[in-house]
Amino acid sequence: MFQKKKGAGMKIKGRFDKIYEIKKSPSMVYFGLYVPGMVDDDIQEDGCLKCSGIIPKYEKGTWLTVEGEKIKEETEERNIFQVSAVYLLTETEKMSRDFLKRVAKELEDDYELKLSPTGIKKITEACDQDVVKFFETREMETALRELTEKCKRIKKETLEQCVHTIYRRIGEYDVVKYLASFDCPMEASLTLVERYGKFAVQQLKEHPYQIGYYAGLDFFMRDKIARAEQKQPLDEERIKALLYTALNDILKSSGSTYVFYPELKERVNQMVEKSSWPEIALTDTHLILTMGEMNNLVLEKTKDGVRIYRKCFFQYESSITKDLCRLNERIPDETFNPDEIPDIERKLGITYDIHQKNALDVLKTSGVKIITGGPGTGKTTVVNGIIELYKRMHPGKRILLCAPTGRAAQKMSEVTGMESFTICRALEFRPFGDGEMRHKDKDSPIEASLLILDEMSMVDEEIFSLFLDAVKTGSTVILIGDENQLQSVCSGNVLHDLIRTEKFEMHRFKKVFRQKNGNTIIDNSYKVLDGQLDLEKNAQFQIHRYWKEETAIQDILTEFEHSYDPKEISKVQILTATRIGMSGTIELNKKIADVFNKDKEEEDFFFSRGYVYHVGDKVIFSRNNYDKGYYNGDIGIILQINRNGFSVGLGEDIIRVSGKSLMEVSPAFAITVHKSQGSEAGEILILLSDEYKSMMTKNLLFTAITRAKKKVQIYYVNDAFSSCIKTRQQERKTGLEEKIKGVRREILNG
C-alpha cells in the first residue's frame, strides 16, 4: 500500500471515510482514510488513518491516492498524515470503473440522469480502460466527440453531463488547493470547476479579476491572486475591477441606482488602502479615463454633478419610463357598471366605505393604477371587489395576480381564492443556451387584460422593468403596496417614485378597520409610524428590555427553541436588523443550529461559507435563479445532503443547491427584516441591538411587527427601542421619478 517517490513524500491508496474537522483559517480539513490491510500504530480507533490537508468532501468510499508525510501534532495522540497532493483516480481498470460508478451516482442524485452498468462498461472501454488518462490528455469537446462516436447507445444528455462531471472531478482538487492558499471559500472552487473543468486554475491565473468575479470572490481575494501572478497595479482590468466593485458596494448597501463621483472616489481610495498594492494611489485621471471606457457604466451630467450608474440600472429606469407611458393611456371601459357593487358586497359579505367604493373606479378606464395603505385598511377587501367586478364586466378574460416572492404570492392566493404567481413565474422564465434565459416580453406578452401586482414596496427596478415589458398595450395594471414598508432589498424605490410623480391614478387608504376584539399588532404598528413609545402590551404584544446584549440573545433563542416546529416553518421567526455582529443573523443561526443539530451524525452535513448545514435546517435564498426555480426571499427546509451540496424543499418543489447556487443560500432560523418582506409568521421575535442603531428605523420596526399574524415579542438592549422609533429610513438616490416626469439629462459616455 505504500510507495516512496524520490523528491516527494509517501503515497497511500485508500477509501475516503469521513471528515473529522474543518478549520476555516488557515484552510484545513482533517479526514479519515480507510486503507485496506494497513497495520500501523497510527491507525485511529475507528480503523482510519487520520489525514490533514486541503480536500473537498468526497462521498464515503471514494478511492483516493494521497501523497505526503507523517507528522506529529501536539494535540494528537498518534501521528497524522499531512497531505500535499490528492489523486482521485488510479491507472487500473477496476479503479476507472469505480470512479465511473461514483460519477453515475452523482448524475442520478444531482441531475436525475441514469448511467447504467453497461454504459459504465462502454465508457471504460472507449477510454482504453484508463478514464483519467483519457480525459487528462484531451480537451472537453474532443473527449465528448470521441465518446459520442464510440458510445452511441448512451443518451446524448447523459453522456454530455457525464463528461462535464468527469472534468469537474479531475480538476477539483487543484482548484481547491490553489484557492485555499488565498483563503478563498470552497464553493468558489466548485463554481470554477463546473465552468472550466481542469483548466479552472489556468483561467483564474490569466484573468483573476474577471474569472474571480464569476466565482464570487471579493475584490481583495482577486487582488491577492493578481499580485501572486505578477499582474501590475495600474493594469486597466484592475482599475475597472476597483471601480465596479466600489460602485456595486455603494449601490448594494444604499439601495440607490447611482452615485456621484466624489463618493465613488472615496470608496475606491478606501479599497486601495486595504488592497495588495496599498502604496499605489490612483489619480482622478486614472479613474475618469477608465470609467469613460467601461461599457457597463453610464455617466449622466446633472446640475448637482455627474451621476454614475451601472448601465443596467440606467436601462431599467429608461425601460420602465417607456412602458409606463405606453400602458398609462386611460381608455374608458364602457362595460363598467357601478350598480353591480351592492350585489358584490352581498356576495362577499362586506360593506365598502366611500373611499373603497371610489377605488373600484380603477376599472372605469385602462391604464396604470396605484392602491396604497397600511395593514388593516382594507386593500385586500377592495382587491376582491375589483376581481369580482372585472369578472362580471369581462367574462372569459384572464386576470393575473402576482407578487415578488413565493411567500407573498401564496398569501395573495389565500386571501383571494385565486391562483397567484411570482412575477418570475408569470414571466415564464426558462433556460436557453449557455446561462441565458428566455421569458415573456413585448414580442411574447403575458396573456392577461387585468394584472394586479401586490407588495409593490418589495419590487425593485429590474423585475419591474421585465414585468412591464411583458404587459400588453391596453391592459389595466393595478399596483398594490404599503408606502411605509421598507424599501426593496435590491436597488430602486419604485413605489415611492411612482407615487411622487403624480402621473398615475392613485387611491390611498388611511382608515383602519378594527376587528371585533381589536388588533394590538396593527394598532401598535401605526403607533410606531407616528413615533409613539407607549405601545400597548398584552399577551399578543410583549416588549422586553435588557441591559446586556448577551442576556437578550439568550432569552430570544430560548423562546425560539420552545416555539419552533420543523414541520411548520412559518410558526415562529426571529428578525433582526443586520447579518453581522453578536445580534446578527450569522451568529444567531450558528447558535440555533448548535442546539438543534447536536445529536446528528457527523457525516450528515455540508460545509459552506463558514456554516455547517444539516438535514432539517431552515434556509433562505438571496437571489433569483430562474433556471433552478427559486427566488429572492424563498424559505425552505434542507431535505438531503449530498457530496456537492444539498436539496431544499420549497413547498411541493425540491431545489438542488450546488456550485454557484451555494453562494445564494443562507440559514434562516433568524433573518433580517429586509429579507422578511412579503412573508408572515405566527409569532415574530424581534431583536433590537444598540450596537447597530444607525441601521434601525421606524420603517424597519413597522415592517417587522406587521410580519406577525398572532404574536409579537420585542427584545431590545438599552435605548435601542426609542432610537429606532425616532429614526426614519434614508432616501435612496434614483433617477426614475425624473425620467417619468420627462427631465432630460446629458449622457457623457454615449
What single string gives the DSSP state of each residue in 707-732? TEEEEEEEEEETTHHHHHHT-PPPPP
Helices of type H across 598-747: 673-676, 698-705, 720-725, 736-741
Closest CA to 260 of 239, 233, 291: 291
Nearest to 31 by CA among 13, 17, 15: 17
CA angle 622, 626, 630 (to 5 degrees): 45
Q: Which residues pair with 720 in a beta bridge?
A: none
Burial of 480-517, coded b for 16+ CB within 10 Å and e otherwise, reads bbbbbbbbbbbbbbbbbbbbebebbbbbebeebeeeee
- Give the pLDDT confidence of 506-544 residue by residue, as tens digits: 999 988 875 545 689 999 999 998 889 899 999 999 999
Enter the DSSP assignment of 274. Answer: T
pLDDT, position 42: 84
On whether the CB atoms of residues 261 and 308 are closer than 8 A, the answer is yes
The SS3 of residue 579 is: coil
CB burial of residue 140 (10 Å; 0-12, 13-18, 19+): middle
User: What is the β-pairing status of strands 605-608 and 305-310?
Assistant: unpaired
Per-residue confidence (pLDDT) for residue 7, from 0 to 100: 40
**How is residue 441 annotated by DSSP?**
B
CA distance 311 to 252: 15
Question: Measured between alpha carbons, how far is 80 from 28 in angstroms, rounded to an integer?
Answer: 13
| Selection from 637, 628, 656 nearest residue 112 by Cα | 656
Q: Decide if 266 contacts 310 (C-beta within 8 A).
A: no
Nearest to 307 by CA among 291, 318, 323: 291
Are 706 and 375 in contact, with CB atoms under 8 Å apart? Answer: yes
Q: Which residue ranges of the chain lie beneath pLDDT 50?
A: 1-7, 516
- Phi first, then psi, for residue 490 (nearest 5°) are -85, 175
Q: What is the pLDDT of residue 243?
A: 96
Mapped onto helix, strand or coil, the DSSP state of residue 98 is: helix
Measured in whole angstroms, how far is the alpha carbon of residue 134 from the centre of its chain? 38
Q: Are 205 and 229 in contact (CB under 8 A)?
A: yes
**H-run or E-run covering 301:** strand 297-302
Q: Locate all alpha helices (DSSP H) within 417-570, ordered by sequence.
A: 423-426, 461-469, 494-501, 520-529, 549-563
Burial bucket for residue 391 (CB in 10 Å: 0-12, 13-18, 19+): middle
* Residue 176 CA, distance from chain mean position: 23
Contact present, 507 and 370 (Cβ < 8 Å)? yes
Strands (DSSP E) found in 61-151: 63-71, 80-87
Burial of 238 (0-12, 13-18, 19+ CB in 10 A): buried
